């Protein structure tokens, strides 16, 4: 989520589309989904990687309409139960 927030949806879409993997892990930490105030003691890169504005996320998700979005538990369950199946 930090890359999406800092670089914008077009860059995140391009980076994801250029990958050769069948799966992409998109991490979204809670601290990346807030607007930090100037009084908050966080590093400058945290401010660039965080935003409460979800339009870039919506644009990113809309670009991949046939994709499945699952949590890590489902991925682990799938690959544990079907190690040879993709």
pTM, entire model: 0.77
Write the secondary structure of 30-51 as one string of H (helix), E (strand) and C (coil): HHHHCCCCCCCCCCHHHHHHCC
* CB-CB contact of 46 with 31 (8 Å): yes
Q: Where are the domains of the chain?
A: 2-81
Q: Which is nearest to 58 in space by CA: 24, 35, 28, 22?
A: 28
Which tens digit of pLDDT belongs to each residue from 26-51?
Answer: 888 999 999 999 999 999 999 999 99
Task: For residue 85, name the pLDDT band (cuts at 50, 70, 90).
Answer: low
Distance CA 86, CA 81 (A): 11
């Amino acid at each position: 989520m930090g890359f999406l927030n800092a670089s914008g949806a077009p860059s995140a879409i391009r980076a994801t589309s250029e990958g050769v993997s069948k799966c992409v892990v998109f991490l979204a930490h809670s601290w990346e989904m807030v607007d930090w105030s100037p009084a908050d003691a966080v590093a400058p890169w945290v401010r660039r990687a965080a935003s409460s504005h979800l339009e870039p996320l919506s644009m990113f998700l809309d670009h991949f309409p046939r994709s499945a979005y699952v949590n890590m538990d489902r991925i682990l369950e799938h690959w544990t139960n079907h190690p040879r199946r993709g």
